Amino acid sequence: MVTKRYMILGIDMAVNLLRPGAKWEWTGGAGFTRWEDPRSQPSQEEVMETIEKIKAFEDSINTIWLPEQVAENEKKEQEIELAMAS
Q: Across the 86 residues of the chain, what is the mean pLDDT of every consecutive 10-residue run?
A: 72 95 90 95 94 92 88 86 85
What pLDDT score was predicted for residue 81?
85
Check: pTM over 0.75? Answer yes or no.
no
What pLDDT score was predicted for residue 54?
93
CA distances from 39 to 14, 24, 28, 52, 53 (A): 15, 12, 22, 23, 22
Characterize the bridge pairing of strands 31-36 and 23-27: antiparallel
Q: How many helices (H) and strands (E) does the chain have?
A: 3, 2
**Where along the chain do its domains lie?**
11-85
